[in-house]
Structure 1
C-alpha cells in the first residue's frame, strides 16, 4: 500500500476515535467538562438557538392565536407504577407513550419528565428559565417528541420541530405540594446515580400550573448536552409552589456519584444551565404581559429609608409652620382696643363723690327757697 494512503487512513481512524471519545465524554455542570466547555465537546451547545433564555416580557410578541395547552392522557395513568431514577444529572421519570399534549402545531407524545434545582443558598436560584431576570427555586420539564412526523424520540431529537418541552417554574412557599410529594417522598431511595425505584402512578397534570393558557413560546434547544436545537419551548407564566422543606429535600438528598465510587459522594446540586443569548429569536406570548418592576433587597431598603426620611422631614416642616403661625397670630400682636380695667374702689369713691355733690346742690336750693323775702 502506498505510504501516503496508509498515513491518511491512520489519521482518519485516529480522528474518528477522537471524535467518539469527545462525543462520549461525561459532562458536568461545573468542573471538568462543565458548562463553559460543553461547546468544545458538543458543538451544538455553541449554536445560536440555545436554551434556556431570559424571557423579557417587554419584548415578547403577543400572539392571540396561541391556544391553551391541553395535556392528553396525563390523568389516565392506570395501575402500572412509574419508575423514578437518578441518572447522575437529575431525577427522571419516564412517561407512558399514550400521554401527550395538544394545542401545539403538531401532535406530541410524552417521553419523560425531570427537574432542575439549586443548592439551598438562594430560594430564587435553581430554575433554568428566568422571567424579566428573575429566576425561581426549581424547574420542571416535561419532554415530548413529535409523533406526527417521527417514529420515536431518537429520530425526533435531532430534527427541527422534533421535540416539545413544557417548562414549569417552581418557587418555595409555606404549604406542602401533595402532587410533588408523590416524587419527593421517594428521593431517599435513589440517592446515588444509577438507582431507580417504582412509585405509585399519579395524575401528572397535577404537577402543572392551573392556568395553562398563559405561557411564552420560542424555538430553542435541549438544556443539556448534546444541546440539540430541536425544541419548541412552552414556559408557563404561572409558577407552582412547593414547601421550603420539599425544596430542601430536593437540594440535599441526591448524589451525582454512584454508591460504589471510592471518593466522597458528590451532592447533586446546581444542575441548571445558565441562560443563553436570545440572538434575535422571537418569543411569543399567549397573553399581554404586564411588566412589574421587581426590586432588589438594596432597592427596597433604599425606598423604605427614603420614605421614613421624607415623613420625618414633612413632620418637621408642618411643626415649624404651625409654630410660626401661632407666634404671629392676630390675637397676639394687635393692640387691645378695650380700656384697661379700673379698680372697683375707685369706682365706688367716684360714685360717692358724685352723690355728695348732687346732695349739696339740692340742699342749697331748698335753703334759698325757705329764706324770707324782704318787704318792699
Structure 2
C-alpha cells in the first residue's frame, strides 16, 4: 500500500473529482491493478466504449469532513471517492509514475506500507479530466465495501514496458517469511451492474448494451435464419436440377425417334419375296425388241 502524506499543510489535494464527490475528499492511497504482459487485460473497470488496457491506477480519497481516517470512511456509504486511470504500455517512460514505482521496493510483501514524499498527484492523471464515467460501486479488494463513488476517466495514460515490468515483478502477494508468490493478475473481474446507473460527463453515442437473454436470442435467431436460408438454397438447387434432368430426357427421346416415324407417307412399300427363288423374271431389256412368233423382221436398208 502506498499512502499519500496528509499530515501538514503541504499535503496533496486533488480537485479531479469535480462535482459530486462526498464532502471534502482527501487523497489518501494509490493502488494499482494489472495483468501480466503481453495479455494486457488488467483493468478493473471495463467500459464498453473504452478498449481494455494493461493496468489501472486508483487514487483513493476519503471524506475528511465526516470521517477521521481512511479505515473508518471505507465502511460508510459516502466514505470514499476513487479516481480510476486506465494505463497502456508504450515505448516512453512516464516521469510522474516514478514517484510511485521508486518506492515499490519498500512494500514488496503483503501487509507492508510506506508513505511517499508529496508530489503533484494530478500528474498521474490524463490531460482531459472533463470526460469520465461515474457510478456508485465497491472497493476492488476484500472486504469490497459498497462505499465508493467511482470516477473513471476515458482518456488513458501511458507508461513504458520497463515500468510495467516493475509493477509485475517487484511486488509479492505473500508475507515476507512465507513462500514468495508474485503479485500478478490482481484485478477483480467485472461485476454485474445490479441496476446501477452509470453517468457520463459527455453525450454518449448510440451504444446499445445487450443483456445475456438478448444476446442468446440474437444468436438463436441468426442460427435459425442461416438454417432457413440453407433450406431455401437447397430447394432452389434441387428444382433447377429437376428441370434440367427433365429437359435432357425430352431431348433424348426426340433424338431416338426415326425419321420414317416422322414422315410415314414417303416410306417405300416393301418388296415381296418370290415363292420360287429359282425362277427369275425374264425381261427383254432392249426397247421395242419383242417379236411375235412366225413374223419375220424387215431388213434394215443399207446405203450404197
TM-score by length of 2: 0.60
CA deviations on 1:198-239 (whole Å, 9 max, x unpaired) are: 654322111111111110000111111111111111000111
What is residue 140 of structure 1 aligned with on the other side?
57
Task: Choose which of 197, 202, 207 in structure 2 pairs with 1:282.
Answer: 197
Is the 8 Å Cα contact of residues 32 and 58 (structure 2) preserved in structure 1?
A: yes
Q: Aligned pair 1:237/2:147, yes or no?
A: no
Is the 8 Å Cα contact of residues 100 and 144 (structure 1) preserved in structure 2?
A: no
SS across alignment from 2:177: coil
Higher relative contact order (CA 8 A, sep 6+): 1
Taking a change above 3 Å as real, the CA distance of residues 175 and 209 of structure 1, as seen in their structure-2 partners, is same
Question: What pairs with 1:19-34 in structure 2 (closer than 5 Å)?
Answer: none
Task: Choose which of 110, 129, 132 in structure 2 pairs with 1:212.
Answer: 129
Q: Aligned pair 1:94/2:4, yes or no?
A: yes
Q: Return the offset for 1:146.
A: 1.8
SS across alignment from 2:152: strand
Distance 1:182 1:155 in 2: 27
What is residue 248 of structure 2 aligned with on the other side?
none
What is residue 126 of structure 1 aligned with on the other side?
42
Distance 1:188 1:152 in 2: 26
Task: Choose which of 93, 105, 111 in structure 1 pairs with 2:28.
Answer: 111
Q: Return the offset for 1:175.
A: 0.9
SS across alignment from 1:251: helix
Q: Return the offset for 1:290.
A: 4.4
Distance 1:240 1:266 in 2: 28
Which structure's CA Rg is the greater one?
A: 2
Distance 1:282 1:256 in 2: 34
Distance 2:99 2:65 in 1: 31
SS across alignment from 1:158: coil
SS across alignment from 1:287: coil
Distance 1:159 1:95 in 2: 22
Distance 1:234 1:186 in 2: 26
What is residue 14 of structure 1 aligned with on the other side?
none
Is the 8 Å Cα contact of residues 172 and 244 (structure 1) preserved in structure 2?
A: yes
Is the 8 Å Cα contact of residues 93 and 114 (structure 1) preserved in structure 2?
A: no
TM-score by length of 1: 0.49
Structure 2 unpaired stretches of 5+: 208-304
CA deviations on 1:283-320 (whole Å, 9 max, x unpaired) are: 1100123479xxxxxxxxxxxxxxxxxxxxxxxxxxxx
Distance 2:72 2:101 in 1: 32
Distance 2:161 2:66 in 1: 42
Bigger shift: 194-203 or 174-183? 194-203
What is residue 70 of structure 2 aligned with on the other side?
153
Structure 1 residue ranges, 4+ long, deviating more than 4 angstroms after superposition: 194-200
Bigger shift: 151-160 or 171-180? 151-160
Is the 8 Å Cα contact of residues 87 and 158 (structure 2) preserved in structure 1?
A: yes
SS across alignment from 1:161: coil
Question: What pairs with 1:1-376 in structure 2 (closer than 5 Å)?
Answer: 91-96=1-6, 98=11, 99-101=13-15, 103-105=18-20, 106-123=23-40, 125-132=41-48, 134-195=51-112, 199-261=116-178, 263=179, 265-290=180-205
RMSD over aligned Cα, in angstroms?
A: 2.4
Is the 8 Å Cα contact of residues 92 and 115 (structure 1) preserved in structure 2?
A: no
Distance 1:93 1:157 in 2: 15
CA deviations on 1:73-121 (whole Å, 9 max, x unpaired) are: xxxxxxxxxxxxxxxxxx4233426425452333212221111111224
Structure 1 unpaired stretches of 5+: 1-90, 293-376
What is residue 69 of structure 1 aligned with on the other side?
none
Distance 2:65 2:111 in 1: 32
Bigger shift: 142-151 or 186-195? 186-195
